[in-house]
Amino acid sequence: MKHLFIYFLLISHFAVGQHSVYKMPYPVNTDVYDEICPILSYDEDELYFTRVGSPDFDKTIIEYGKNLYVTEPYEKYQSKLRDIYRMITQEVDVDPVSSSFNQDVWYSHFHDGEIYNLFHPTHPLNNALPNSICSHFGTDGSYVVINQFGEEGGVSAGFSVVNKKTDTEFTFPEPIMIQDFDKTGSEVNVSMSIDKEYMILAMKGSNSRGDKDLYLSIKGYKGVYSTPVHLGSVLNTVYSEATPFFSQDKKKLYFASNRPGGYGGMDIYVSERLDFSFKNWSEPKLLGRPINSEFNDSHPYVQMDENSMLFTSNREGTSDIFYGKLNRDEKLEYSIDINIFIVKGEERKRANAQIYWSEAYSHEWADFFRARDGKYKYKFEKNIPMQFKAENRGHISDIVILDPQELQEAGIRELDIEIVLEQGKNRKPIFKRPVYKEDTYVAKVESSKEDVVPLDNDIMTLEANSTVVLKNIMFARAKPDVLPISYPSLLKLSKTLARRSDVVIQVEGHTDNVGDSEALLDLSLARAHAIRDFLVLNGAKSHQVKAKGFGASRPITKNRTEQERSKNRRVEIRVLRQGK
């Protein structure tokens, strides 16, 4: 029996339900900028995405064959950049850096939902104008990018093809010719069939029913694509249809729409081709939660297994890249026991309360139980995510959502959880992913040998007062909540401390310099305490682990870029004592 105890103050906001959904960690997603438009390479080992509004964009502006960023004084370059963005945005006062049109392509290595390393390709793939990869172009490492560029300078609406040469170099974009490319809006998306024969576009055309509609263009003589044809009223509405993805078997079309009947904002739908033509489509089906949410969910990309999915959502503030599954097992292989313990406040004393439960994401509670001794046992018999909450005399807990599919995949048959009562109302949901099995866990960020966390016996080689940085410890944005990706390493560290009671460590929290200095100091201390609490709850003795926060006072690099700031947002382990 796998019997685990989960301390819910340390759980972050991961969605679960339709299957598992989680936000891709840094370096793909950042706390500050928007990340959109995920595209995988054909062999699915590289994840491309577009970062918006980052000051780390490629600064190249080509005019008469020369790069103005190199040849002109900085002030003149800045003036030229602002003039360009005024034309693009139709705004008089525009900041090119923070503009939503400041878009660059980035990518990471990708395997089974895990990401490694980060690359920012240089010109000609990226430049100071809008850049985004939006589709494959065949199977040979070629991609469709937005816009058309002249080698002597200039940009025009449309699409181009690039091919990867090295990790950071791509060929110059070659234009894709489309007859009568008559778009009237500023935004356009495209998805290409894998054989390059068909192009699905989302754009506002002269005959669009709404803001953007879906169109079809077919490859013709000398590779020129036909005039885009409106795909009809089954797919299109008077609302917006955007960010299409055409499945590799050419049978399904995924897209986003803000039509009525969704969960809110843009939602992702799927429709099937009903015959060999492109005229007959099934009624678009709304994908369920947690793929869709009350926020904007878009840019679907479905992998070849027709189950794994990447998409964009702004459910956590900025737009981020999420990864999930479309399908779930119909039945559980075995029942799972959930032992629920209700406690009150920081003192963690057992409390009487009413515990409510229902299917996850429901707005009504199906049943309740008066837990007079502060505990209740729930048994998962069906493979349906459930939500729980507790209430007692003005005290209410967060809503806790558990997914039996994920518990089963982690090999868990019995799980203990604490639900914490706190004063107040309108508590937000806590979406929980289970602790990974230690023997199968692979770190999500692994850039060099020095980055690997020293666990078990390795930490014992450190001399007193020396420190190591825990590179794969991650927190919720601007909060002390430890993300579940961190659990395996922390569990190993806690077991090491349990075996070696003579070892005393200090968990030290550090932040970047973005924000009020006192608030950053408080955050760093809270995060250090969160790590300490986790270690103690999972086997370390309380006297073995101390916590201290330094805020932004001890940076290890400058805070000029997001990558530099991310290095300063860290947790260090300092060995205070070894041996009795």
How do residues 520-549 score in pLDDT, each as one tens digit? 888 899 889 888 888 887 788 888 899 999
For residue 121, what are its two tokens?
């390709």
At 39, which helix (H) or strand (E)? strand 34-40
How far are the Cα atoms of 188, 213, 232, 251 from residue 36, in angstroms, in the given order? Answer: 14, 20, 27, 25
Fold matches, 3-14+330-431 and 443-577: no
- Residue 208 pLDDT > 60: yes
How do residues 140-153 score in pLDDT, each as one tens digit? 999 999 999 999 99
For residue 561, what are its two tokens?
């870029």
**How far is Cα 56 from Cα 562, in angstroms, rounded to an integer?**
8
Q: Among residues of the chain, what percentage have pLDDT more than 70?
A: 86
End-to-end CA distance of the chain: 36
**What pLDDT, on the 0 to 100 scale, is given for residue 580?**
54
Rounded mean pLDDT of 399-412?
82
**How far is Cα 27 from Cα 486, in angstroms, rounded to an integer?**
15
Biggest CA–CA distance in the chain, Å, is 82
**What pLDDT, on the 0 to 100 scale, is given for residue 550?**
92
Instruction: Give the single-character DSSP code of 15.
Output: -
At 217, which helix (H) or strand (E)? strand 213-218
Q: Choose between 568 and 219: higher pLDDT.
A: 219
Name the residue among 111, 132, 123 with its Cα closest to residue 47. Answer: 111
Instruction: Give the single-character DSSP code of 339.
Output: E
Inter-residue contact 403 to 328 (CB < 8 Å): no
Inter-residue contact 465 to 576 (CB < 8 Å): yes
Inter-residue contact 380 to 335 (CB < 8 Å): yes
**What pLDDT, on the 0 to 100 scale, is given for residue 185?**
64
Sorting pLDDT into bands at 50, 70 and 90, what band is 579? low
Q: Among residues of the chain, what percentage have pLDDT more than 90?
A: 45
Inter-residue contact 104 to 50 (CB < 8 Å): yes
Inter-residue contact 148 to 129 (CB < 8 Å): no
How do residues 542-565 score in pLDDT, each as one tens digit? 888 999 999 989 888 888 776 677
Q: From its phi and psi, is residue 550 left (phi > 0), alpha (psi between -120 and 50) or beta? A: alpha
Where does 367-463 have alpha helices with state H?
404-409
How do residues 340-387 score in pLDDT, each as one tens digit? 999 887 667 888 999 999 988 777 898 999 988 889 999 999 988 899
How do residues 50-85 score in pLDDT, each as one tens digit? 999 999 999 999 999 999 999 999 999 999 999 999
Q: From its phi and psi, is residue 332 left (phi > 0), alpha (psi between -120 and 50) or beta? A: beta
**How far is Cα 84 from Cα 184, in angstroms, rounded to an integer?**
19
In degrees and rounded to multiples of 5, residue 404 shows phi and psi of -65, -30
For residue 341, what are its two tokens?
């313990």
| Sequence spans of domains, the chain | 3-14+330-431, 26-176, 443-577
Burial label, 503 (beta-carbon count in 10 A; 0-12, 13-18, 19+)? buried
Specify which of 161-170, 478-487, 555-564 reaches the highest per-range mean pLDDT. Answer: 161-170
**How far is Cα 82 from Cα 366, in angstroms, rounded to an integer?**
57
Name the residue among 261, 258, 256 with its Cα closest to residue 239. Answer: 258
Burial label, 282 (beta-carbon count in 10 A; 0-12, 13-18, 19+)? middle
Instruction: Give the single-character DSSP code of 168.
Output: S
Inter-residue contact 507 to 546 (CB < 8 Å): yes
For residue 545, what are its two tokens?
């682990």
- Residue 458 pLDDT > 80: no
Q: Choose between 461 and 578: higher pLDDT.
A: 578
Round the CA-based radius of gyration of the chain to a whole number and report it: 26
Name the residue among 290, 237, 238 with its Cα closest to residue 268. Answer: 290
For residue 201, what are its two tokens?
């576009």
How do residues 72-121 score in pLDDT, each as one tens digit? 999 999 999 999 999 888 888 889 999 999 999 999 999 877 888 899 99
Considering the domain 443-577 in this protein, what is its CATH number? Answer: 3.30.1330.60
Lowest-confidence pick of 198-212, 253-267, 314-328, 344-358? 344-358
Name the residue among 7, 23, 9 with its Cα closest to residue 485. Answer: 23
The per-residue pLDDT of the chain, averaged, comes to 83
**What pLDDT, on the 0 to 100 scale, is given for residue 575?**
86
User: In the 3-class helix/strand/coil scheme, how is 228-296 assigned residue by residue?
Assistant: CEECCCCCCCCCCEEEEEECCCCCEEEEEECCCCCCCCCEEEEEEECCCCCCCECCCEECCCCCCCCCC
Considering the domain 3-14+330-431 in this protein, what is its CATH number? Answer: 2.60.40.1120
Q: What percent helix, strand, coil does the chain show, rounded to 5?
A: 15, 40, 45
